[in-house]
Structure 1
Amino acid sequence: MDWEPATADDQVAGVPARFVAAPASTAEAAEVLRAAAAQDLAVVVRGGGTKLDWGMPPRRLDLIVDTHRLTGVVEHAAGDLITVVRAGTPLSELDFGSQQLALDSPLPGATIGGSVAANVSGPRRMLYGTARDLLIGITVVRPDGTVARSGGKVVKNVAGYDLGKLFTGSHGTLGLITECAFRLHPVPPARAVVTRTVPAAGVGALLTAVREEQVVPSAVEVDRPPGGEVTVAVLVEGTAEGVRDRAARLEKVLGGHSGDLPSWWGAYPWQPGGTGLKLTAALSKVPDLVGAAAETGIRGSAGTGVLYASVASSEDAPRLVERLRAEAVRAGGHAVVLTAPAEVREAVDVWGPVPGLELMRRVKDQFDPGHHFAPGRFVGGI
């Protein structure tokens, strides 16, 4: 297929591309990547463009492979609760009737492929899992144009290498995802959200009360704006009668009230152009991490220990990033800068210490020996 000359809008983290290709099938994608490898071109994949400013700028960029034509549901096996979806399909466009792909996207317009490549997930990861957990099969095109498939259309499939696990969270450094097979879940007939706002010192008691009540929540979220109090929001789903009972129990133990999803639910706390971090912590240490984020603001899943923090000022960002990283380590986790202005990316270690880096380098060398895919974008310059 033909490549188009890039325009001024075709850039990744400020690095302009030379060409853009938009394959409409796995076969066309393989043709594009074979030609790109033969010409030693550096490649970055673009889906909805919602996360192109994540990570570091590529060391070089010749070709953007755009997936906006790789869209649509290939198969929906309702009886098996399975679907196969092309990678460029926006998550917001998926509709399986009484079934759902229970993968929340914090970014409007995000695609299937980009969500898997970045391993993003939202509030309901607590009950349903992340993209990595829901993915049961994958089709990819390796940097040399070779098509590879792993997994299948059944929930348990152990044949071959698990490419899905490798490509999930690889940030586009191992190859191009073209199709994904997922397990689905029934859409629950009812849901309720119970919220309570308290000073930061009271968060631990509320989270303990939720755990001890054993209401099987789909999500337990916290939100603390800079300098403000903390709102705890608990989502329960299921039958109408069961939801009413569990919500009533939550209202009692939390001293809160039922209502609609909060306006902040499932969204990242930073604004475009700001600095955003992903923080992890042991569940018992989540209240400590929330309490330590008074300057920055923090939001995320208290039920899984995955939180997100925002830093509005670029001038203060290096200091606050290091502080949050230290607090996350004390809480048994780590901190990664997902997005930041150029001056902040240059001043801080975006990825921080990453165990297993040498193994990751070997995987990169195995899949992309020429380092053509997203060179320098990922941890350790991978």
Structure 2
Amino acid sequence: MSQKNLIVAFGGVSPEHEVSVLTAIQAISALENSSYQIIPLYVTKNGRWLTGESLLDLSNYKDLPKLESQAQDCAFVKDETGKTYLKEQNVSGLFSKPKSYPVYAVLCAFHGSEGENGAFQGVCEMMNIPYTGSGVLGSSLGMDKVKAKLVAAANGIPVTKAVNFYESDWVNEQDDIITVAEDFGYPLIVKPVSLGSSIGVAIANNREELNEAVETAFRYDAHLLIEEAVNPLMEINCSVIGTPDNCKASVCERPLGKAETLSFEDKYQSGEGAEKGMASADREIPADIPEALTRKIQELSVKTFSALGASGLARLDFLVNANTEDVYFNEINTIPGSFSFYLWDRSDLNFTQLMEELIRIALKKHQEKNGRVRSYDTNLLSEKAMKGIKGLKGTK
């Protein structure tokens, strides 16, 4: 079988940069014996696009300046026929010739910011290349916790009470915001709206802690969310794979941390072998909860995945009242850490098969998109039409 160039895109200008590197290397390892030729596309912390063999070795990331000096700048380019390539740029040396790789598909392994929020997906759409995961809208909704909750609530999916505000609101209306939040009752949860991996998330038990948590969270995002706490709390997660009109849920998991609300350290620096990313976190799989509750969360996961227009694979996180078993949608991760392979491994789909399925979905979506009418022949720029446009000059 001939090899196809699979571009694995990861890194990025994001607080979750290192987590993305771990996820990408895991995926590359899972595809080691596949029919694909793996081409890394590493986006540095300052936004440079790099490629090269040295990017495939996790140990090289211990010295980022050295790694970046060994790698080669690159970019997506199109040839005269419209075919897209990943091409090396600024190659030095008299006899050096830039390598160029025709793109078969892109495996997106970003976490947070421009890689997961729809921006990179938009680049792929513009270049008309298949890519894994959600599209531009689904990705951007997934990154915005406020918008995701609004869509969920509009579709009858339960969410917790919350107030959201921008930094300028906090400066001008701080007392009003605190009054609204305190009506929920302490403890309260403070979150950046557009970050994942629990970065900037804090629990506030009183007004002093609330002010401190807000000021800390503004270091990461200009838009924050204060939510009521579910007490006593169980966090239950479930992954979904497919498309909005045809998807299925994995088994459920219950992450276990020092506190029920998990920190970044609980997720990525606990358990044995933190280099395994989310796979190293302590968790209970399948979650030891009643079967009826499992089914409810799986059904809500599929419903939320579809409502948000997600695609490929996502992990949906829910807050459960341990006494009443009331369930609340918390957030969706459109590119979850380690691709949540540990959930699908318990659902009879190993990591390699999971990656293959993501690529298959990406190719099918791309084929369907290109099967639609994507241009419209018109004589808008004909001489007659142009005269009409000229006549509009000077009008208001």
TM-score with structure 1 setting the length: 0.29
Higher helix share: 2
Look at both structures and tell me which one has the larger radius of gyration over its CA atoms: 2
